[in-house]
Amino acid sequence: MSTTANDRALDLCRYVDASPSPYHAVQESIRRLTAVGFTELHLDDPPTSPGRRFLRSGGALVAWSTEDRPIDAPVRIVAAHTDSPNLRVKPRPDHADHGFQRVAVEVYGSPLLNSWLDRDLGLSGRVMVRDGDPSTVREVLIREDRPVARIPQLAIHLDRGVNENGLVLDPQSDLAPVVGLGDKNLGSFERILADLAGVDTTDVLAWDAMFHEVVSATLAGLNGEFVSAPRLDDLLSCHAGTEALVAASDAASAVVPVLALFDHEEVGSQSPTGAAGPLLPRVLSRHLGQTERPIDSSLVLSVDGAHCTHPSRSHRHDPEHSVRLNAGPVLKINAQARYASDAPGLATVRLAAERAGISLQSFVSRNDMACGSTIGPALSTRTGLRTVDLGVAQLAMHSAREFCGSSDPGDLRTLLIELLTY
């Protein structure tokens, strides 16, 4: 792996470590964008003069640069999602079992449940608190990276058939993390949140809190060929998109580069901050004058994780479409429109890859297996713009810890830069 690829992979690790929740991912992208001159707008702000702008809403972010771009320039949008499958804290989380304090959680998205067992877990998210005046509320991001929680697996001596029959978990009873000892703990979780937010317990009004693995992202493999990290689906794409926008904003181009990071992809995108919501169309209409810009040469890139062919389960993949790690970004195609890619869009991306010297792969599901979906179909429907689904190949998708090649993230970034500037 080249030094540049190694640097890109390590920067991805830093991005993932900074982003244990969707709100922190937005915060980290904003940190990188403000460092190169992007300034914030708010949801109700009127249109402004050309420049580098961003708008955030919860776990979503839209950023763009109209600096030195003509009013009739097409838009090129890199879209990804900030959320990942995990365990989220219920409104009344405290309960005790046989001397253990536990926290009640709700399963978010479709995680591999067994991957959350026997891991050291931290806590992150946002807390809504009183802000002086009784009618004023403010948002506080919270983060605890100490191993404050764990979900212990039942010993094999008490489940002798687990290796032969497989592990089956009850999401209601088996997934509540242990956080301490005691028979009575009413209100203890709110005290934890209040301490993390720096307020009194009585000032905590509501929260979107979730557990995350505390082990840092890292390079792996004998020669650093891999990235081992939580939340690669889809923080890898958020990182590549952010870095591509930073680079494209400094490039001389007749294209308006846009970054759109959405929340709630893992649960269907049906929310104000999801890809099926109004956020991006409003920005395109209000701030980018979409009606004045060409449609045919504009493009949405729905960037999300792709399935690598599993070395032990290759029969689960289409035999003519093997996908490998460190073999380049993956174009995702589905005849049932579960992915939004069509031939003209694919051709545009292939030409960009040729110019950038990047290899591409193609993913197609087996005919006898259902295909997952992405934000691509929702975005193509909401914006009316041609959309291509693509991403980086990975293993262990939706595990608490995922796995990808270490040179692919840099290649994805290079490809996105080419698409945002040409």
Q: What is the pLDDT of residue 186?
A: 64
Per-residue pLDDT tens for 372-393? Answer: 889 999 999 999 999 999 999 9
**Interatomic CA distance for residues 236 and 239, integer angstroms:** 5
Here the tokens at position 134 are 């009784």
Q: What is the pLDDT of residue 201?
A: 93
Q: Maximum distance among all alpha carbons in the chain?
A: 70
Phi, psi of 206 (to 5 degrees): -165, 165
Q: Is 422 exposed, middle or buried (0-12, 13-18, 19+ CB in 10 A)?
A: middle
Here the tokens at position 105 are 């959680």
**CA end-to-end span of the chain:** 27
**Confidence band for 314, pLDDT divided at 50, 70 and 90:** confident
Closest alpha carbon to 383 in 61, 75, 18, 9: 75
**Interatomic CA distance for residues 360 and 396, integer angstroms:** 21
Q: What is the pLDDT of residue 3?
A: 65
Closest alpha carbon to 29 in 245, 321, 209, 294: 245
**Confidence band for 1, pLDDT divided at 50, 70 and 90:** low
Asked if the model's pLDDT at residue 289 lies above 90, the reply is no
Asked if the model's pLDDT at residue 175 lies above 80, the reply is yes
Residue 150 DSSP symbol:
B
Where in the chain are the domains?
A: 3-84+230-421, 86-213
Q: What is the pLDDT of residue 239?
A: 98
At the top level of CATH, the class of 86-213 is mainly beta
Q: What is the pLDDT of residue 371?
A: 84
Asked if the model's pLDDT at residue 394 lies above 90, the reply is yes
Closest alpha carbon to 29 in 10, 12, 43: 12
Q: Tell me yes or no: is domain 3-84+230-421 CATH 3.40.50.720.
A: no
From residue 62, alpha-carbon distances to 33, 92, 140, 259, 285 in Å are 11, 33, 21, 6, 13
Residue 360 DSSP symbol:
-
**Confidence band for 147, pLDDT divided at 50, 70 and 90:** very high
**Interatomic CA distance for residues 387 and 48, integer angstroms:** 27
Here the tokens at position 393 are 């190949």
Average pLDDT, stretch 138-154? 97
Q: Do domains 3-84+230-421 and 86-213 have the same CATH topology?
A: no
Element (H, E) at 25: helix 22-34
Q: Is 4 exposed, middle or buried (0-12, 13-18, 19+ CB in 10 A)?
A: exposed
Element (H, E) at 56: strand 52-57
Residue 176 corresponds to which amino acid?
A
Q: Percentage of the chain with pLDDT > 70?
A: 99
Instruction: Go through the chain and tell me how many residues it has.
Output: 422
CA 391 to chain centre: 12
**Interatomic CA distance for residues 226 and 179, integer angstroms:** 32
DSSP line for 301-317: EEE--EEPPPTT-GGGS
**Interatomic CA distance for residues 96 and 185, integer angstroms:** 7
Asked if the model's pLDDT at residue 185 lies above 70, the reply is no
Between 187 and 13, the more confident residue is 13
| Under 8 Å between Cβ of 340 and 376 | yes
Asked if the model's pLDDT at residue 117 lies above 90, the reply is yes
Q: What is the pTM of this model?
A: 0.95
Q: What is the pLDDT of residue 373?
A: 87
Residue 175 corresponds to which amino acid?
L
Average pLDDT, stretch 207-229? 97
Q: What is the pLDDT of residue 184?
A: 74
Q: Is 226 exposed, middle or buried (0-12, 13-18, 19+ CB in 10 A)?
A: buried
| Mean pLDDT of the chain, nearest integer | 94
**Interatomic CA distance for residues 32 and 318, integer angstroms:** 39
Q: What is the pLDDT of residue 24?
A: 98
Q: What is the pLDDT of residue 351?
A: 98
Sign of CA dihedral 81, 403, 31, 303: negative
Asked if the model's pLDDT at residue 2 lies above 70, the reply is no
Q: What is the pLDDT of residue 165?
A: 92
Per-residue pLDDT tens for 32-41? Answer: 999 999 999 9
Q: Which of 152-156, 250-254, 329-333, 380-384 has the lowest mean pLDDT?
A: 250-254
